[in-house]
């Protein structure tokens, strides 16, 4: 539990000396509880109180970094159960698994490296490769890790419960800080040694229950490992789902430190079934999801899901203002205008695409507000629309001066016409009316 | 020290609605579905009740638009011009728990099918399948008033859901639903306050809260899914925390997926378009259920199959 002002007050000297800048120790404690002051301001505080305060100030889920260089991944440090309460900060990392006895390791990794998508101006791709020792042969594992490393700079997960195998694998890539997977109750001492010696994060795996998992993570921490990742093990999906939720709750709501770490999950099933397990991990609380396949038809929607869920609810996603060409427009094609809230743009663009009518869509900078909100807040006006029409160069692309505006802002038509000199046509009130409207407009 | 697992004790309970009436209950349905009834978040039955595995209905049309995506059309090529056969295939081959027919052909701005023609369609549908039915109008207020009144009468005693009631048009559909004890689907556009307002409007008008199902608009993956996800989560949390007017089952559809060409267009870079479209729809549906939807309406048989499997695994794997 987070410390209350009263909890903190009990640990302070209670002398009300005022050296911290606050009149009383209680006032100081209240500022500390709200994280508005630092304990360092008190010259007389005991070391014990200091430790207590510092540990309670640590984030509920530890930030753990895997990998090195510009593909390094940060995970953990989440603060809410539901994204609308604030936001989800560190997007789940997607990892593809390759086996050390597989003949096509290099081609599989190569294909993953080449799988890059761009969507709404963001690059999307797989983030990690998990190399699993199926052979249980140190030499074979080491050469597989080297082969993977030769093809990619993404962070690796090394998967083996045999410390001898892990040690060889680490020799091939330790400086890149792979995630060691995994310490179990049988091998944790040796695995913790390896993690410390190589300065690598360590996954702890325990499938018998959360209490047992917490015990194991405590032991690993006592052995000196700070960067820990939890693996709840293989279990029925519904059980796993419940435990993922419980781990997140214990960490965030109870500040239960032994489970206050990011979670790695191995998706079960095949094809679309595996994909849906990845989706579940994305929505509910995994920080790494490992999958066996990476088909483009599944990866693209999954990466889109991650992009959606990890956007900040406080900051609407915006598209770039300007001219968008849809369905291959020509000089006599209709010109429409809307605002740059991504959802507005996508809806309007989707409806125009459905109409199949070649069109120009002008997107005005409304600071990410939808048409009606922007209009009400004076962020989408006859003036700003005029400015866009004049600055974007649409006049050079078409042989007419007619612009279709959203039906909801019909009121701006007079002024827009006056300002811009363009003939203003009032379109449908809702974007869903566009397909029919445009077909008739183009046919007329 | 034993680890104490943090269980939420919610004070609210989501209403449960049963759709479909068997012969013994005065109808002709051969199956019913129950939705809602939860006192926990989805699939967390260990801390409350999550009594019903979310049922999946499939959506059909009285008339299919010319531009209906090929991927969604293909599994039904042989039956798509006959809503009765289409529905039968959904139920018998693909395991649909319910059928929702959207009467878009009655819209005066589309085919303007007469109420008599629509009546024929609904009678055929009623004969063709034994699962519970949902009947949606075309969105034209005046025409929907007549079509849904007719549907209410034709389906008297069958305990259907009629839709969609909207803020600007809810009175005639409310009358249609109340006159033969059908349920009603209240639509709101991605806004928790509007969702609540709809339930208030309907109950003020005389509809019983226990006869309402909410459709808060499920945006498609990539097209605002995150807004829907959070709106649904907020609605469900508010209901569990005690907001009575929101203690109503939620039904989400994947219709929007089939407006987003990105989901199903031919594009080698983003993989096989059929697999992509199916997974796009399945992901959209699954995210709705995890956010709090109590029932789904879907289109593609393979997407239905995948989501059914996932929902079953989620539901069966844990203590509910």
Instruction: Indicate if the pLDDT at residue A315 is higher than 70.
Output: yes
Percent of chain B with pLDDT over 70: 100
Integer-rounded Cα Rg, in Å, for chain A is: 28
- Predicted local distance difference test score (pLDDT) of residue A166: 98
Contact B316 A238 (CB under 8 A): yes
Between residues B196 and A375, the one the model is more confident about: B196
Instruction: Indicate if the pLDDT at residue A428 is higher than 90.
Output: yes
Tell me the β-bridge partners of A96: A129, A291
- Predicted local distance difference test score (pLDDT) of residue A2: 64
How distant is the Cα of A99 from the closest Cα of chain B, in angstroms?
24
Instruction: Determine the longest span between alpha carbons in chain B, in angstroms.
Output: 72
- pLDDT mean over B59-79: 95
Q: Which residues contact B65 (CB under 8 A, 6 or more apart)?
A: B104, B110
Contact B230 A313 (CB under 8 A): yes
- Predicted local distance difference test score (pLDDT) of residue A121: 73
Contact B54, B295 (CB under 8 A): yes
Which of B43, B224, B273 is closest, CB to CB, to A343? Answer: B224
Q: What is the DSSP letter of B22?
A: B
pLDDT class of A119 with cuts at 50, 70, 90: confident
Contact B149, B175 (CB under 8 A): yes
Contact B283 A295 (CB under 8 A): no
The SS3 of residue A425 is: strand
Q: Is B97 left (phi over 0), alpha (psi -120 to 50) or beta?
A: alpha
Q: How far apart are CA A169 and CA A179, in angstroms?
A: 11
- pLDDT mean over A333-351: 91
Instruction: Give the least confident one: A31-35, A148-152, A309-313, B159-163.
Output: A31-35
For B255-299, write each residue's pLDDT tens digit. Answer: 989 988 889 989 999 999 999 999 999 999 999 999 999 999 999
- Predicted local distance difference test score (pLDDT) of residue B1: 56
Helical spans, DSSP H, in A34-102: 47-57
For B178-199, write each residue's pLDDT tens digit. Answer: 999 999 999 998 899 999 999 9
The SS3 of residue A89 is: coil
How distant is the Cα of B210 from the closest Cα of chain A, in angstroms?
28
Chain A residues close to B273, C-beta within 8 Å: 297
Instruction: Indicate if the pLDDT at residue A33 is higher than 90.
Output: no
Contact A237 B283 (CB under 8 A): no
The structure's pTM equals 0.89
- pLDDT mean over B45-53: 94
- Residue B278 C-beta-side C-alpha neighbours within 13 Å: 23
- Predicted local distance difference test score (pLDDT) of residue A46: 87
Cis status, amide bond into B155, omega within 30 of 0: no
Instruction: Indicate if the pLDDT at residue B118 is higher than 70.
Output: yes
Instruction: Indicate if the pLDDT at residue A139 is higher than 90.
Output: yes
Q: How far apart are CA A62 and CA A256, in angstroms?
A: 11
Chain A residues close to B264, C-beta within 8 Å: none
Tell whether ipTM is more than 0.95: yes
The SS3 of residue A377 is: coil
Which of A83, A238, A435 is closest, CB to CB, to B43? Answer: A238
Q: How far apart are CA B253 and CA B217, in angstroms?
A: 7
Percent of chain A with pLDDT over 70: 99
Contact B21, B159 (CB under 8 A): yes
- pLDDT mean over A289-310: 97
Contact B207, B177 (CB under 8 A): yes
Instruction: Indicate if the pLDDT at residue B202 is higher than 90.
Output: yes
Phi first, then psi: what are they for A34, rounded to 5°?
-90, 10
Q: Which residues contact A140 (CB under 8 A, 6 or more apart)?
A: A100, A101, A133
Percent of chain A with pLDDT over 90: 78
Q: How far apart are CA A159 and CA A421, in angstroms?
A: 67
Q: How far apart are CA B145 and CA B176, in angstroms?
A: 8
Chain B residues close to A245, C-beta within 8 Å: 41, 44
User: How remote is the C-alpha of B256 from its chain's centroid?
Assistant: 13
A362 close contact with B: CB closer than 8 A = no
For B148-178, write each residue's pLDDT tens digit. Answer: 999 999 999 999 999 999 999 999 999 999 9
Instruction: Indicate if the pLDDT at residue A435 is higher than 80.
Output: yes
Mean residue pLDDT of chain A comes to 93
Q: What is the DSSP letter of A431?
A: G
pLDDT class of B98 with cuts at 50, 70, 90: very high
Chain B residues close to A308, C-beta within 8 Å: 221-222, 224-226, 229
User: How remote is the C-alpha of B36 from its chain's centroid?
Assistant: 12
How distant is the Cα of A86 from the closest Cα of chain B, in angstroms?
11
Q: Is B75 left (phi over 0), alpha (psi -120 to 50) or beta?
A: alpha
From B150, B62, B159, select the one nearest B112 (Cα to Cα). B62
Which of A277, A279, A346 is closest, CB to CB, to B224? Answer: A346
Chain A residues close to B317, C-beta within 8 Å: 235-241
Instruction: Give the other-Cβ count within 10 Å of A260's Cβ.
Output: 23
Q: How far apart are CA A11 and CA A367, in angstroms?
A: 48
From A111, A227, A95, select the one nearest A155 (Cα to Cα). A95
């Amino acid at each position: 539990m987070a410390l209350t002002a009263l909890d903190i007050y009990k640990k302070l000297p209670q002398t009300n000396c005022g050296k911290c800048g606050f009149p009383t120790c209680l006032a100081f404690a209240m500022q500390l509880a709200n994280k508005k002051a630092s304990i360092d301001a008190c010259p007389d505080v005991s070391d014990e109180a200091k430790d207590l305060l510092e540990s309670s100030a640590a984030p509920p889920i530890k930030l753990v970094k895997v990998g090195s260089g510009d593909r390094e991944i940060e995970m953990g440090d989440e603060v809410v159960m539901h994204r609308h309460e604030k936001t989800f900060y560190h997007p789940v990392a997607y990892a593809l698994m390759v086996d050390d006895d597989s003949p096509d390791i290099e081609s599989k990794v190569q294909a993953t490296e080449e799988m890059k998508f761009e969507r709404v101006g963001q690059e999307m791709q797989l983030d990690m490769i998990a190399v699993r020792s199926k052979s249980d042969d140190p030499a074979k594992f080491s050469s597989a890790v080297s082969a993977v490393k030769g093809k990619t700079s993404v962070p690796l997960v090394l998967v083996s419960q045999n410390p001898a195998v892990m040690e060889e694998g680490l020799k091939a890539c330790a400086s890149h800080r792979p995630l060691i997977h995994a310490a179990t109750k049988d091998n944790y001492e040796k695995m913790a040694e390896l993690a410390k010696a190589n300065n690598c994060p360590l996954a702890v795996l325990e499938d018998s229950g959360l209490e047992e998992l917490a015990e194991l993570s405590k032991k690993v921490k006592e052995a000196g490992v700070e960067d820990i990742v939890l693996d709840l093990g293989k279990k029925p999906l519904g059980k796993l789902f419940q435990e993922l939720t419980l781990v997140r709750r214990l960490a965030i709501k109870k500040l239960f430190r032994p489970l206050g770490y990011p979670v790695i999950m191995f998706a079960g099933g095949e094809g679309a079934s595996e994909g849906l397990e990845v989706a579940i991990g994305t929505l509910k609380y995994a920080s790494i999801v490992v999958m066996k396949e990476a088909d483009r038809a599944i990866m693209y929607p999954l990466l889109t899901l991650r992009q959606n869920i990890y956007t900040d609810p406080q900051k609407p996603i915006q598209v770039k203002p300007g001219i968008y060409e849809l369905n291959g427009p020509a000089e006599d094609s209709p010109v429409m205008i809307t605002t740059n809230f991504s959802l507005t743009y996508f809806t309007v663009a989707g409806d125009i695409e459905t109409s199949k009518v070649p069109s120009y869509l002008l997107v005005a900078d409304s600071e990410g507000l939808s048409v009606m909100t922007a209009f009400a807040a004076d962020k989408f006006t006859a003036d700003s629309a005029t400015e866009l029409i004049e600055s974007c160069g649409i006049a050079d692309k078409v042989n007419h001066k007619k612009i279709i505006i959203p039906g909801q802002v019909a009121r701006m038509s007079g002024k827009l016409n006056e300002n811009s000199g363009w003939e203003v046509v009032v379109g449908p009130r809702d974007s869903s009316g566009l397909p029919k409207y445009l077909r008739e407009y183009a046919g007329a | 020290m034993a680890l104490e697992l943090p269980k939420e004790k919610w004070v609210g309970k989501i209403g449960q609605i049963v759709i479909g009436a068997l012969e013994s209950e005065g109808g002709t349905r051969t199956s019913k579905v129950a939705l809602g009834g939860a006192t926990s978040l989805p699939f967390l039955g260990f801390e409350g009740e999550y009594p019903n595995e979310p049922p999946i209905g499939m959506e059909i049309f009285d008339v299919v638009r010319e531009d209906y995506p090929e991927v969604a059309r293909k599994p039904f090529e042989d039956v798509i011009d006959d809503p009765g056969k289409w529905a039968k295939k959904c139920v018998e081959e693909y395991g649909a728990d319910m059928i929702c027919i959207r009467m878009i052909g009655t819209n005066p701005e589309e085919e303007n099918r007469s109420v008599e023609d629509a009546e024929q369609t609904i009678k055929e549908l009623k004969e063709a399948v034994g699962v519970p039915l949902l009947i949606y109008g075309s969105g034209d207020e005046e025409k929907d008033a007549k079509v849904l009144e007719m549907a209410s009468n034709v389906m008297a005693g069958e305990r259907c859901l009629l839709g969609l009631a909207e803020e600007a048009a809810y009175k005639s559909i409310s009358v249609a639903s109340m006159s033969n004890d059908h349920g009603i689907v209240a639509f709101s556009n991605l806004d928790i306050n509007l969702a609540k307002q709809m339930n208030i409007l309907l109950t003020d008008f005389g509809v019983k809260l226990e006869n309402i199902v909410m459709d808060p608009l499920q945006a498609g993956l990539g097209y605002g899914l995150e807004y829907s996800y959070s709106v649904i989560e907020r609605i469900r949390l508010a209901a569990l925390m005690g907001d009575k007017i929101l203690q109503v089952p939620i039904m989400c559809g994947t219709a929007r997926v089939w407006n987003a060409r990105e989901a199903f267009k031919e594009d080698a870079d983003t993989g096989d378009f059929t697999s992509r479209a199916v997974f796009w729809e399945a992901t959209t549906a699954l995210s709705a259920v995890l956010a709090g939807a109590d029932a789904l309406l879907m289109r593609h048989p393979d997407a239905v199959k995948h989501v059914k499997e996932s929902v079953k695994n989620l539901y069966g794997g844990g203590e509910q």
